[in-house]
């Protein structure tokens, strides 16, 4: 925010230089960005009155003028300006004067006639042309005749160029500081002075009574709506002092009425609007939501498409303005306006921000409303605007004020503990010192107990909600530099990885040792990924966590499976003509269970290539399980997972719980991704695997007795799983089977259709004695008998 130091001094006594004052404000929490001294490059430039103008004897384009600069004798100046007349007051740079840009003026002779100075234009004085009336732009800067000037006055005093402009960086939680009064409050507590608030009194010189009816249809979006009426309005330029203050704040002067609304906004922080009563027509104001899809032309001439969530100011029949943002094209003040209505209202900050964003329309008004404005400010600002109308003789204020205020503002209080605040800051402020700081910030203090203060929060402090906010106020005003620095105290501990982090590292190391490369993808993904991998509509995978404010549709949800990310990366490799790829990712998936959100750790492996098949990937998964300590897991054929090829997919279960899935990706899914190779993927729930893993190593002595091996070839139906066979062998081993290894699966001409041949090597060993053929034969026969009885698996004869 740009602040004129000269203007600020009207509200609070400031004796420091602008830079020193700015540094003090920074230390109390109002950061000073820049300090600019106006007119510091100007010297020896004074006000002069043109007494006489004559033609130059030897140049048609020049004139010879006699000007009064406050001395006994007039000064002669030759100029080529066409816009000067006798009686005008103009700025004159005398001999030795300095102007912005390093220009120095000296007496000289122009076409044989002495010239003792130079009349100045706005550019030569460093005044931006965009703030200057047309007749002053092309030529000499003519001083306004309604002001009283004394020849010889310093032009910096007359034009307000002896000022300093300070730019403050304001945080979003302090909307009360986005005005001169707000900065004055901070300046007062910083310098230890009192705020000199404007003495606001309205005479109401018109004989008429206000007869405008106001109705609010949406109390949530408009908490308070106030209005005053002004008759006998005379539209003209506002006085120079007001224009200058608007200019220094970056606002272009327009006319006296519009300038008053902008001036009050800068002074009090309350945006206002002045309606031409001819446009209201029926003396009625209705604040209501817009009709979906209707259009509205704003003051800038742009047509805006409205939604039903936007709040409008209407007369009940037609729209007059976008609430809190901008008035309508026809509702504003015109050159022939004779009667106006001032609007001062409080609108919902979130709604203003949303409307402004949707329409792409951000104004000085909306930038203030969207951060929040106290409801009482509307009342103060309206009275101030009416006072300025009378002060500038811009019209006569009608008796009465409209104040539609459905839900009155209740005074806010908070209870704090000075002892606790002192302890957290590491200082010892007495109760009197504590209260003195808060009272300087306009809090009202009531002592509840020896260590409890009940504070009445000032109406303009919308950011105070808890004790921590009061701590911040005390700390910044007491002075952060006054709070002693102490060494951190406490026990230090060595930073080590958790057991789960070590576990994940082991899994990653194993995957890398198996020839896979690690990848990292985003956790927020597109919902289209679930469609591409053919997830059914009723699947739990579609119960996703949605982002409130996503960057776009492609990053609008948190992933519930890592398979789409894996396929994206594999497609990238295929598209780059990489012949074979093996990759893995250790990441998280998310589900919104009970609205609290659940985050699961997953391992996803993906492969394709000439020599890659289901068993290649299964071997890597087995190696990972072996290294990570998962034992007793089984693979069960899965035919209902639509992301995988039917008959080439298996669920991985352990202790009756699903811990993962492995298989070949469905051809239709591959087509969705544009992949023309067979792809194999496994997704494993690492959290579940970690819970069931057993990394305890049990050492056994070397066997004393020899082992005996028997090979068997079984003829079974296709649907029989090898896991079933292995379970029967172990259950009937009698403790003598040390291991059983599958070494062949055969289907061919010699095998009946629908059957397969499965060959095992069974190793027998006892820890107590040397086994005899009879010992093994009994146990071996028992195993074969149970295989045939339970699975109809018969010993293959050839």
**What is the secondary structure of 356-417 as a DSSP string?**
HHHHT---HHHHHHTT---HHHHHHHHHHHHHHHHHTT--EEPB--EEE-SSPPPPPEEEE-
Q: Is residue 489 part of a domain?
A: no
As a whole number, the mean pLDDT across the chain is 91
Is position 469 annotated in a ligand binding site?
A: yes
What whole-number percentage of the chain has pLDDT above 70? 98
For residue 259, CA distances in Å to 241, 289, 345 come to: 11, 29, 18
Q: Are 462 and 554 part of one and the same domain?
A: no
Residue 669: pLDDT above 80?
yes
Q: Are 602 and 737 part of one and the same domain?
A: no
Q: What is the mean pLDDT of residues 34-43?
A: 88
- pLDDT reported for residue 634: 87
Q: Is residue 201 part of a domain?
A: no
- pLDDT reported for residue 596: 53
What whole-number percentage of the chain has pLDDT above 90? 63
* Per-residue confidence band for 798, with pLDDT thresholds at 50, 70 and 90: low
Whole-number Å distance between alpha carbons of 181 and 177: 8
Q: Are 637 and 506 part of one and the same domain?
A: yes
For residue 747, CA distances in Å to 616, 718, 741, 792 come to: 20, 9, 19, 17
Whole-number Å distance between alpha carbons of 366 and 372: 10
Q: Is residue 490 part of a domain?
A: no
Q: Are 789 and 673 part of one and the same domain?
A: no
Is position 626 annotated in a ligand binding site?
A: no
Tokens of 177: 């500081």
Q: What is the mean pLDDT of residues 186-212?
A: 92
- pLDDT reported for residue 723: 80
Domain that holds residue 266: 213-404
- Interstrand relation of 340-347 and 634-637 (parallel, antiparallel or unpaired): unpaired
Residue 796: pLDDT above 60?
yes
Q: Is residue 207 part of a domain?
A: no
Q: Is residue 740 part of a domain?
A: yes
Is position 73 annotated in a ligand binding site?
A: no
Q: Is residue 628 part of a domain?
A: yes
For residue 75, CA distances in Å to 67, 152, 156, 647 come to: 5, 11, 20, 107
- pLDDT reported for residue 494: 81
Q: Is residue 487 part of a domain?
A: no
603-639 per-position pLDDT tens digit = 999 999 999 999 999 999 999 999 988 988 888 888 8
764-782 per-position pLDDT tens digit = 998 889 988 888 888 888 9
- pLDDT reported for residue 597: 63
Tokens of 240: 């120079």
Whole-number Å distance between alpha carbons of 763 and 736: 8
116-174 per-position pLDDT tens digit = 999 999 888 888 776 666 667 778 888 876 567 899 999 988 887 888 899 999 998 99
Q: Are 295 and 339 part of one and the same domain?
A: yes
CATH of the domain at 625: 3.30.930.10
Is position 463 annotated in a ligand binding site?
A: yes
Q: Are 544 and 627 part of one and the same domain?
A: yes
Residues 6+ apart with CB under 8 A from 767: 703, 704, 705
Q: CA gyration radius for the chain?
A: 43
SS (H, E, C) 39-60: CCCCEEEEEEEEEEEEEECCEE
Q: Are 16 and 115 part of one and the same domain?
A: no
351-372 per-position pLDDT tens digit = 999 999 999 999 999 999 999 9
Q: Is residue 11 part of a domain?
A: yes
Residue 684's DSSP bridge partners are: 603, 660
Tokens of 384: 């101030």
Q: Are 286 and 387 part of one and the same domain?
A: yes
Q: Are 517 and 655 part of one and the same domain?
A: yes
Q: How many other CB atoms are there within 10 angstroms of residue 232's CB atom?
A: 15
402-448 per-position pLDDT tens digit = 999 998 888 899 999 999 999 999 899 999 999 999 999 999 999 98
Q: Are 775 and 636 part of one and the same domain?
A: no
* Per-residue confidence band for 96, with pLDDT thresholds at 50, 70 and 90: very high
- Contact call for residues 93 and 120 (beta carbons, < 8 A): yes
pTM of the model: 0.65
How many separate domains does the chain show? 6
CATH of the domain at 7: 3.30.56.10
Q: Are 232 and 376 part of one and the same domain?
A: yes
Q: Are 326 and 464 part of one and the same domain?
A: no
Q: Of the residues 404, 426, 455, which one is the last residue of a structural domain?
A: 404
């Amino acid at each position: 925010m740009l602040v004129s130091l000269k203007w600020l001094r009207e509200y609070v006594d400031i004796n420091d230089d602008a830079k020193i004052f700015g540094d003090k404000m920074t230390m109390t929490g109002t950061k000073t960005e820049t300090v600019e001294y106006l007119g510091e490059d100007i010297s020896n430039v004074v006000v002069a009155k043109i007494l006489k103008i004559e033609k130059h004897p030897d140049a048609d384009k020049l004139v010879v003028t006699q000007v009064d600069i406050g001395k006994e004798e007039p000064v002669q100046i030759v100029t080529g300006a066409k816009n000067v007349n006798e009686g005008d007051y103009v700025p004159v740079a005398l001999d030795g004067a300095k102007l912005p840009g390093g220009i120095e003026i000296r007496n000289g002779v122009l076409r044989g006639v002495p010239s003792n100075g130079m009349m100045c234009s706005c550019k030569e004085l460093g005044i931006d042309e965009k703030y200057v009336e047309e007749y002053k732009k092309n030529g000499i800067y003519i001083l306004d005749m309604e002001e009283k000037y004394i020849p010889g006055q310093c032009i910096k005093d007359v034009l307000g160029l002896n000022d300093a402009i300070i730019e403050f960086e304001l945080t979003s939680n302090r909307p009360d500081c986005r005005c001169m009064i707000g900065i004055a409050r901070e300046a007062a507590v910083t310098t230890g002075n009192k705020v000199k608030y404007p003495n606001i009194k309205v005479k109401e010189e018109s004989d008429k009574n206000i007869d405008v009816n106001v109705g609010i249809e949406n109390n949530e979006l408009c908490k308070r709506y106030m209005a005053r009426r002004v008759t006998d309005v005379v539209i003209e330029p506002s006085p120079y002092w007001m224009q200058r203050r608007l200019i220094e704040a970056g606002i272009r002067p327009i006319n006296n009425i519009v300038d008053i609304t902008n001036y009050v906004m800068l002074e009090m922080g309350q945006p206002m609007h002045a309606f031409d009563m001819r446009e209201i027509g029926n003396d009625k104001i209705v604040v209501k939501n817009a009709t979906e899809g209707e259009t509205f032309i704003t003051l800038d001439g742009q047509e805006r498409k409205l939604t039903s969530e936007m709040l409008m100011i209407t007369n009940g029949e037609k729209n007059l303005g976008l609430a809190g943002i901008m008035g309508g094209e026809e509702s504003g003040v015109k050159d022939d306006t004779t009667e106006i209505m001032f609007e001062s209202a409080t609108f919902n900050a979130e709604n203003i921000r949303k409307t402004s964003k949707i329409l792409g329309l951000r104004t000085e008004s909306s930038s203030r409303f969207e951060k929040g404005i106290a409801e009482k400010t509307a009342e103060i600002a309206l009275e101030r605007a009416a006072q300025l109308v009378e002060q500038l003789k811009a019209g006569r204020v009608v008796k009465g004020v409209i104040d539609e205020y459905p839900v009155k503002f209740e005074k806010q209080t908070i209870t704090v503990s000075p002892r606790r605040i002192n302890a957290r800051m590491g200082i010892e402020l007495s109760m009197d010192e504590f209260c003195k700081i808060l009272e300087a910030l306009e809090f009202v203090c009531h002592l509840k107990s020896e260590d409890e203060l009940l504070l009445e929060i000032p109406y303009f402090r919308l950011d105070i909600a808890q004790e921590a906010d009061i701590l911040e106020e005390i700390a910044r005003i007491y002075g952060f530099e006054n709070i002693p620095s102490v060494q951190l105290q406490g026990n230090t501990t060595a930073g080590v990885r958790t057991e789960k982090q070590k576990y994940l590292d082991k899994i990653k190391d194993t995957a890398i040792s198996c020839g896979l490369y690690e990848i990292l993808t985003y956790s927020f993904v597109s919902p289209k990924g679930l469609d591409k991998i053919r997830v059914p509509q009723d699947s739990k995978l579609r119960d996703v966590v949605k982002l409130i404010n996503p960057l776009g549709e492609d990053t609008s949800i948190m992933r519930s499976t890592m398979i789409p990310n894996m396929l994206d990366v594999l497609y990238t490799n295929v598209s780059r003509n990489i012949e074979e790829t093996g990759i893995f990712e250790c990441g998280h998936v998310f589900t919104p269970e009970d609205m609290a959100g659940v985050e699961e750790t997953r391992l996803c492996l993906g492969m394709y290539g000439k020599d890659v098949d289901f068993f290649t990937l299964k071997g890597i998964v087995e190696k990972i399980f072996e290294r990570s300590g998962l034992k007793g897991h089984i693979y069960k054929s899965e035919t209902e997972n639509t992301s995988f090829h039917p008959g080439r997919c298996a669920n991985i279960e352990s202790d009756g719980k699903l811990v993962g899935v492995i298989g070949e990706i469905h051809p239709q899914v591959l087509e969705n991704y544009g992949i023309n190779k067979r792809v194999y993927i496994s997704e494993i729930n690492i959290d579940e695997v970690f819970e069931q893993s057993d990394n305890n190593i049990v050492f056994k002595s070397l066997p004393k007795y020899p082992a005996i091996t028997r090979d068997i070839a079984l003829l079974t139906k296709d649907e029989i799983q090898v896991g079933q066979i292995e379970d029967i062998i172990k259950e009937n081993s009698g403790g003598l089977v040390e291991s059983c290894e599958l070494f062949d699966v055969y289907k061919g001409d010699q095998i009946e259709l629908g059957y397969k041949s499965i060959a095992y090597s069974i190793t027998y060993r006892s820890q107590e004695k040397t086994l005899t053929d009879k010992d093994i034969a009994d146990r071996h026969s028992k195993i074969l008998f149970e295989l045939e009885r339970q699975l109809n698996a018969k010993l293959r004869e050839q």
